[in-house]
Amino acid sequence: MTFDEYQKLALTTRVPHPDALMNKTVWVMGVAGEAGEVVEKWKKIVAYKDGKISDEDLGELKKELGDVVWYIAVLADSLGLSFDEVMQLNVDKLADRQRRGVLKGGGDNR
């Protein structure tokens, strides 16, 4: 499955708001909220399970990561962006940073 194929399937399950700005706002907040759920699950693994990841933990993390990806795909579409293009741009950016030896460091435009 390509990223664009995933994006098209994800869009079949969205419930759009009639206001375009509210749509984008809900998708942005969804990315943050679901990413927070990933962090919360990880916190519990580290704080209460000494970093030992059970099969159940792995399944829960997988679900939450999928939710993050869903919101990103839907947000990208609401901005008129192809998910394939977004992912390719990211890989290209990281490869360029790697070539220049600046994977670590601060700033978006390094």
Mean pLDDT (the chain) is 95
User: Alpha helices, DSSP H only, in the chain?
Assistant: 3-11, 20-48, 55-78, 83-100
pLDDT tens readout for residues 45-97: 999 999 999 999 999 999 999 999 999 999 999 999 999 999 999 999 999 99
Residues 28/44/60/56 CA torsion (nearest 10 deg): 180
Question: Would you state the pLDDT for residue 109?
Answer: 77
| Domain residue extents for the chain | 3-81
CATH class of 3-81: mainly alpha
At residue 51, what is the residue type?
Answer: G
Please provide the distance, in angstroms rounded to a whole number, between the alpha carbons at the two ends of the chain: 32
Question: Would you state the pLDDT for residue 110?
Answer: 74
What's the predicted TM-score (pTM) here? 0.90
DSSP 18: S
Question: Would you state the pLDDT for residue 79?
Answer: 96
At residue 97, what is the residue type?
Answer: R
